[in-house]
């Protein structure tokens, strides 16, 4: 039997804007100096850095470009490798002197080394995890202090764009000599029901003094309304120069359960109090109460309710913002995924930002938290295999300790498509990593994503994990379950279809490998040899109901891996520049800018209940008059009627009138022409005008969708994602979509003319994009082109009292347009 068939659980999270925060933690992200290039003595306190560039952390030097064939298209064609230096000068305040001082980095990409006042603190090769260094012994209490950080990412070290530099936040941790340890709280629950849940709170107390100290540990649990649910207190001895663990438990009556639909959260305030009654440390955390259970026969249960994974894989870059973490950009990504019907995220293929986990907690998204894309056997020349032996245990334990209190996380993934699948003793590595997961967190199962279907089973790697993930093996689900009925199985990576937003080639439904325009049709049928349209995963999951669900590849496009242009997954170690200028993926259901492709709506039609209807392709086919155009409707209604210029082309029932699409992929033995019950298809002789679809349920009209043959673009339509944004800290962003519109108000879906943005008022220009995988315009340029009628500008609110941001767009032959967004103070910190 698998290690986990039944799991009862609850977790701790964090305070309002940080997952585990001491009151002594302060923002350390402003006023850094940056130099790109080699710098002899860059760590020296005496170095003159006045001419270095001023930057604010998080910072990704690579997204500034340029896109160039000199770099690797497999990693986005961006200059992420090389050497960079960051320095920050600071002085301690009077209240900070004689305290214990540490610096916490949430992530540096990668091969970082850190100094304080010329003293070497350490290195961290892995870029996806945070770490803390003790500064106390080396500080100048009454003078200037200098932190220096050297970053040296290598070429051929990533299969996608990783970003470069201090791309996640930095904190200065000021504490007394007795404190809650870094990532030192852990909450588990047992016997969770809607009536009662047993809450276990573990707190680690660290004592930097030589002497033992008698302290009290006080834990206060607060619900979302601010009501104190429980207070617990116990005395203990904090042993000198050691870290001790304390345990407290209680039964919570009528807990507000965390779920996908109601992501209820609690706050935990932990105080360390000395024998004189002085509070030495206050540590604030956030947690949720919920129950998870995995079974081989039925699947996954959340709070007793059978729940299928409607998941997506997400890389960590944020499109035009690069890898530099921003909370609003991350939130927007996840909100778009929720709109598609997504209920689960796989953090492919490395640990995510804290912001992503916080927001998943808040939105009710399940998380598969993944550690590694590579173990000890090489995928790429300078990949993680170079440091695996030395660092894998530290990195995996740190990931789990850092993330273990998030209710959103339901599984730990120890690896993706690792090469050890193909060797006889590879199971030993899997066994070791799985054991570490159990030691650090016995409340969750571990998993891995296996792409070598035969080898992973033959060499016993699949036997070592609690939950078995298979990549692109939908056609083998039945065989797996027949041979291993006690295995708990899911699609850890599925689909992998490629498409360009708004592109429909005149070959229509031909299954080509590449097209001469470096784009891919949006009919959602084209992909590499291992891939298949979403329809096939839907179909095989319906045939095998015990499979937990899927994580499709991918929710968003990302920089790098421009398959099929230039290369193919991890089979090529070198450069992917043969089809330049392609430099970003086509795999997303949403493009780099967050603009929805047709595939978004295909998933939405299967994964959501709110009425929806989508129609494709565009209806501008001059020169194709009379030729049949394949027209598809995606809907969650019962039937759809199609009209051309007011004439009905007939009704079709979903699941009955099946839309034929071409199918051909590895392990599939069915017909080439697959009758999809998930798409409705009409073959319509083209004539310009109005194409209209109407959906029905019980014979009643539910939705209507109209596509018109558009005229020449005449004006620009601007839409902001929010009318009001925060001016609290200068980090909030507004995303403004520009669309080209003709004189009749129709969207110009084939327009690719120039556009220029400007930002004024109480905000600054941040980035632009258009979602075109072959565009070489860098995101920090205010000038670019529409891509199939759309473009994006991102503006940042100034830190201050608030005001208005004015965003203007203009283009040759187009009437310019301005939109105004309000900024205001929105301080929502939890007290």
Residue 569 is predicted with a pLDDT of 63
Residue 516 is predicted with a pLDDT of 87
With 0-12 / 13-18 / 19 or more C-beta atoms within 10 angstroms meaning exposed / middle / buried, residue 623 is exposed
Three-class DSSP category at 406: coil
Nearest-angstrom CA–CA distance, 271 and 219: 7
Does residue 572 surpass a pLDDT of 80?
no
Q: How confident is the model at residue 674 (pLDDT cuts 50, 70, 90)?
A: very high
**Domain 613-708, second-level architecture:** Sandwich (2.60)
DSSP string, 1-32: --S-S-B--EEEEEBTTBSEEETTEEE--SSE
Count Cα atoms within 13 angstroms, Cβ side, for 721: 22
Cβ atoms < 10 Å from Cβ of 196: 13
- How much is the mean pLDDT over the chain? 95
- DSSP annotation of 38 reads -
Catalytic residue among 358, 374, 417, 550: 417
Q: How confident is the model at residue 427 (pLDDT cuts 50, 70, 90)?
A: very high
Taking residues 478-484, report their average pLDDT: 97
- Contact indicator for 811, 758 with CB cutoff of 8 Å: no
Q: What is the residue whose two structure tokens read 């009379």?
A: 626
Taking residues 98-120, report their average pLDDT: 97
CATH topology of domain 713-824: Immunoglobulin-like (2.60.40)
Instruction: Identify the weakest region by mean pLDDT among 17-26, 544-553, 675-684.
Output: 17-26
Residue 66 is predicted with a pLDDT of 97
pLDDT digits (tens, 9 = 90+) for 449-461: 999 999 999 999 9
Taking residues 336-360, report their average pLDDT: 98
**Among the CATH numbers 3.40.50.300, 1.10.3720.10, 2.60.120.260, 3.40.47.10, which is that of 30-168?**
2.60.120.260
Three-class DSSP category at 692: strand
Nearest-angstrom CA–CA distance, 611 and 604: 10
- DSSP annotation of 154 reads P
Q: How confident is the model at residue 511 (pLDDT cuts 50, 70, 90)?
A: confident
> Of how many residues is the chain composed?
831
Over the range 16-44, which residues count as b (16 or more CB within 10 Å of their CB) and which as e? ebbbbbbebbeebbeebbbbbeebeebbb
Three-class DSSP category at 137: helix
549 or 667: which leads in pLDDT: 549
- Contact indicator for 201, 249 with CB cutoff of 8 Å: yes
Q: How confident is the model at residue 345 (pLDDT cuts 50, 70, 90)?
A: very high
613-708 and 713-824: same fold?
yes
With pLDDT > 90 as the criterion, what percentage of the chain qualifies?
92
Does residue 268 surpass a pLDDT of 70?
yes
Catalytic residue among 106, 493, 495, 561: 493
Taking residues 432-436, report their average pLDDT: 98
Residue 276 is predicted with a pLDDT of 96
Cβ atoms < 10 Å from Cβ of 619: 23
- The CATH H-level superfamily of 292-607 is Glycosidases (3.20.20.80)
pLDDT digits (tens, 9 = 90+) for 48-72: 999 999 999 999 999 999 999 999 9
Q: How confident is the model at residue 513 (pLDDT cuts 50, 70, 90)?
A: confident
Does residue 331 surpass a pLDDT of 60?
yes
Q: How confident is the model at residue 204 (pLDDT cuts 50, 70, 90)?
A: very high
Q: Where are the beta strands (DSSP E) in 418-477?
A: 446-450, 467-471
Helices (H) and strands (E) in the chain, counts: 8, 48
Nearest-angstrom CA–CA distance, 346 and 314: 6
CATH 2.60.40.420 fits 10-18+178-289, yes or no: no
pLDDT digits (tens, 9 = 90+) for 81-91: 999 999 999 99
Taking residues 703-730, report their average pLDDT: 97
Please choose, from the candidates 162, 183, 102, the residue with its C-alpha nearest in 3D space to the C-alpha of residue 398: 183
**370 assigned to active site:** no
Each domain of the chain, given as residue ranges in start order, spans 10-18+178-289, 30-168, 292-607, 613-708, 713-824
Q: What share of the chain is helix, strand, coil (3-state, %, to 5)?
A: 15, 40, 45
Q: Would you state the structure tokens that stand for residue 695, as one six-digit string?
A: 């959906």
Q: Where are the beta strands (DSSP E) in 537-657?
A: 549-553, 613-616, 628-635, 639-644, 647-653
pLDDT digits (tens, 9 = 90+) for 604-615: 999 999 999 999
- DSSP annotation of 498 reads B
Residue 389 is predicted with a pLDDT of 98
Q: What is the residue whose two structure tokens read 């870290």?
A: 243
Distances from the Cα of 824 to the Cα of 324, 723, 759, 820, angstroms: 24, 11, 17, 13
Q: How confident is the model at residue 576 (pLDDT cuts 50, 70, 90)?
A: very high
Q: Would you state the structure tokens that stand for residue 765, as one six-digit string?
A: 């220009």
Q: Where are the beta strands (DSSP E) in 569-712?
A: 613-616, 628-635, 639-644, 647-653, 659-662, 673-676, 680-685, 690-697, 700-708
With pLDDT > 70 as the criterion, what percentage of the chain qualifies?
96
Output phi, psi for 680, to 5 deg: -105, 135
Does residue 16 surpass a pLDDT of 60?
no
Nearest-angstrom CA–CA distance, 418 and 374: 5
Q: Would you state the structure tokens that stand for residue 304, as one six-digit string?
A: 């007793």
Residue 486 is predicted with a pLDDT of 98
Taking residues 780-796, report their average pLDDT: 98
Q: What is the residue whose two structure tokens read 């499109």?
A: 319
**799 assigned to active site:** no
Q: How confident is the model at residue 742 (pLDDT cuts 50, 70, 90)?
A: very high
Residue 20 is predicted with a pLDDT of 63
Nearest-angstrom CA–CA distance, 441 and 414: 13
Q: How confident is the model at residue 5 (pLDDT cuts 50, 70, 90)?
A: very low
Q: Would you state the structure tokens that stand for residue 619, as one six-digit string?
A: 């209806």
Q: How confident is the model at residue 352 (pLDDT cuts 50, 70, 90)?
A: very high
Residue 497 is predicted with a pLDDT of 97
pLDDT digits (tens, 9 = 90+) for 562-571: 999 987 765 5
Residue 347 is predicted with a pLDDT of 98
Taking residues 768-778, report their average pLDDT: 97
- Contact indicator for 818, 807 with CB cutoff of 8 Å: yes
Taking residues 608-623, report their average pLDDT: 97
Strand partners of residue 611: none
With 0-12 / 13-18 / 19 or more C-beta atoms within 10 angstroms meaning exposed / middle / buried, residue 437 is buried
């Amino acid at each position: 039997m698998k290690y986990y068939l039944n799991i009862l659980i609850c977790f701790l999270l964090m305070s309002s804007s940080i997952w585990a925060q001491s009151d002594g933690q302060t923002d350390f992200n402003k006023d850094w100096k940056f130099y790109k290039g080699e710098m002899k003595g860059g760590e020296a306190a005496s170095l003159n850095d006045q001419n270095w560039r001023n930057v604010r952390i998080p910072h990704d030097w690579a997204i500034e470009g340029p896109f160039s064939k000199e770099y690797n298209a497999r990693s986005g064609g961006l200059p992420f490798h090389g050497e960079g230096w960051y320095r920050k000068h600071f002085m301690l305040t009077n209240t900070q002197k004689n305290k214990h001082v540490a610096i916490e980095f949430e992530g540096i990409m990668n091969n970082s080394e850190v100094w304080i006042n010329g003293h070497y603190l350490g290195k961290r090769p892995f870029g996806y995890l945070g770490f803390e260094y003790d500064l106390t012994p080396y500080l100048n209490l009454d003078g200037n202090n200098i932190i220096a950080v050297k970053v040296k990412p290598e070429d051929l070290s990533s299969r996608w764009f990783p970003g470069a530099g201090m791309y996640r936040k930095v904190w200065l941790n000021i504490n007394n000599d007795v404190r809650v340890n870094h990532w030192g709280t852990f909450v588990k629950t047992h016997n969770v029901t809607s009536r009662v849940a047993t809450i276990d709170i573990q707190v680690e107390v660290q004592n930097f003094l030589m002497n033992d100290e008698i302290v009290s540990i006080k834990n206060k649990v607060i619900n979302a309304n601010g009501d104190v649910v429980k207070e617990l207190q116990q005395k203990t001895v904090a042993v000198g120069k050691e870290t001790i663990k304390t345990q407290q438990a209680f039964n919570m009556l009528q807990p507000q359960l965390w779920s996908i639909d109601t992501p209820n959260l609690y706050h935990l305030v932990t105080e360390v109090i000395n024998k004189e009654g002085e509070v030495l440390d206050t540590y604030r955390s956030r947690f949720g109460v919920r129950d998870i259970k995995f079974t081989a026969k039925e699947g996954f249960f959340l709070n007793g309710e059978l729940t299928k994974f409607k998941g997506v894989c997400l890389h960590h870059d944020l499109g035009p913002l690069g890898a530099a973490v921003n909370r609003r950009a991350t939130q927007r990504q996840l909100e778009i995924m929720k709109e598609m019907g997504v209920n689960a995220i796989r953090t492919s293929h490395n640990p995510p930002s804290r912001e992503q986990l916080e927001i998943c907690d808040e939105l009710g998204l399940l998380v598969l938290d993944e550690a590694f894309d590579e173990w000890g056997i090489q995928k790429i020349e300078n990949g993680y295999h170079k440091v695996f032996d030395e660092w894998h245990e530290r990195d995996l334990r740190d990931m789990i300790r850092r993330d273990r209190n998030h209710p959103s996380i339901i599984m730990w993934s120890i690896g993706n498509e690792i090469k050890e699948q193909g060797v006889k003793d590879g199971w030993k590595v899997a066994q070791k990593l799985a054991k570490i997961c159990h030691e650090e967190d016995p409340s969750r199962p571990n998993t891995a994503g296996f792409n070598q279907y035969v080898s992973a089973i033959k060499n016993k790697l699949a036997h070592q994990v609690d939950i078995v993930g298979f990549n692109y093996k939908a056609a083998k689900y039945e065989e797996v379950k027949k041979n291993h009925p006690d295995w708990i199985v899911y699609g850890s990576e599925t689909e992998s279809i490629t498409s360009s937003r708004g592109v429909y080639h005149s070959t229509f439904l031909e299954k080509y490998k590449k097209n001469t325009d470096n784009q891919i049709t949006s009919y959602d049928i084209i992909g590499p040899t291992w891939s298949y349209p979403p329809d096939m995963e839907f179909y095989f999951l319906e045939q095998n109901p015990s499979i937990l669900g899927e994580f499709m590849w991918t929710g968003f496009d990302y920089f790098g891996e421009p398959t099929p242009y230039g290369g193919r997954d991890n089979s090529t170690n070198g450069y992917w520049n043969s089809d330049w200028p392609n430099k970003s993926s086509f795999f997303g259901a949403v493009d780099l800018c967050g603009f929805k492709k047709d595939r978004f709506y295909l998933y939405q039609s299967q994964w959501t209940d709110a009425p929806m209807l989508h129609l494709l392709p565009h209806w501008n086919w001059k020169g194709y008059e009379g030729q049949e155009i394949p027209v598809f409707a995606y809907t969650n209604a019962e039937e759809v009627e199609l009209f051309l210029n007011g004439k009905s082309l007939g009704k079709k029932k979903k699941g009955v009138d099946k839309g034929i699409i071409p199918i051909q992929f590895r392990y599939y033995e069915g017909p080439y022409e697959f009758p999809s019950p998930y798409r409705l298809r009409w073959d319509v002789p083209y004539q310009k005008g109005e194409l209209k679809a109407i959906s029905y349920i019980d014979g009643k009209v539910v939705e209507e969708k109209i596509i018109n043959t558009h005229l020449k673009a005449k004006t620009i339509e601007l839409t902001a994602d929010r009318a009001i944004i925060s001016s609290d800290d200068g980090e909030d962003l507004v995303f403004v979509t520009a669309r080209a519109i003709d004189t009749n108000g129709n969207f110009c879906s084939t327009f690719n003319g120039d556009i220029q943005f400007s930002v004024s008022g109480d905000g600054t220009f941040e980035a632009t994009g258009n979602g075109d995988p072959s565009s070489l315009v860098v995101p920090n340029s205010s000038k670019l082109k529409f891509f199939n009628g759309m473009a994006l500008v991102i503006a940042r609110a100034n830190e201050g009292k608030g005001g208005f941001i004015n965003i203007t767009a203009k283009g040759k032959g187009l009437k310019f347009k301005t939109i105004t967004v309000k900024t205001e103070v929105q301080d929502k910190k939890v007290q």
